């Protein structure tokens, strides 16, 4: 079974631009969560999607948004990029969002803002 797939792996943008990251969960997994990883702040929860609905949102500004499609694939978008948005963005999937199923991570998208 293929793991969680994130595209692209690397991305370079400039301040003020916007970016869309994609995540394909493990087949059969219906829950997708996004995390930001930085050396200073560690792993921080962004949002969680299940059945195309956002179940939880972390403490990030409205510039960070996401969505989930009917096939469980998810995208996250960051608008008006700032230097501080440089990070590794990780996606994780699990079977469902209600019974603490193990989450499995993708390799991440490394976003660099110039």
Partner 1 sequence: GENVEQHPSTLSVQEGDSAVIKCTYSDSASNYFPWYKQELGKRPQLIIDIRSNVGEKKDQRIAVTLNKTAKHFSLHITETQPEDSAVYFCAASIETDKLIFGTGTRLQVFP
Binding site for partner 1 (CB under 8 A): 31, 33, 35, 42-45, 48, 50, 55-56, 58-59, 90, 92, 94, 97-108
The nearest distance, CB 55 to partner 1, in angstroms, is 6
Phi-psi bin for 24: left (phi > 0), alpha (psi -120 to 50), beta? beta
CB of 102 to partner 1, least distance (A): 5
Q: CB nearer to partner 1: give 35 or 64.
A: 35
Kindly state the tokens that stand for 78: 């960051």
Between 24 and 103, name the residue whose CB sits nearer to partner 1.
Answer: 103
Residue-wise burial string across 49-62, b where 16 or more C-beta atoms lie within 10 A, e elsewhere: bbeeeeeeeeebee
């Amino acid at each position: 079974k293929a793991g969680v797939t994130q595209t692209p792996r690397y991305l370079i943008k400039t301040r003020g631009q916007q970016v869309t990251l994609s995540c394909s969960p493990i087949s059969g997994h219906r829950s997708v969560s996004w995390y930001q990883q930085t050396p200073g702040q560690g792993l921080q929860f962004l949002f969680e999607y299940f059945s195309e609905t956002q179940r939880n949102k972390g403490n990030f500004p409205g510039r960070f948004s996401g969505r989930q499609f009917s096939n469980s694939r998810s995208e996250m978008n960051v608008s008006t990029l700032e230097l501080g948005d440089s990070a590794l963005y990780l996606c994780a999937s699990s079977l469902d969002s209600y019974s603490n199923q193990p989450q499995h991570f993708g390799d991440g998208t490394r976003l660099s803002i110039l």
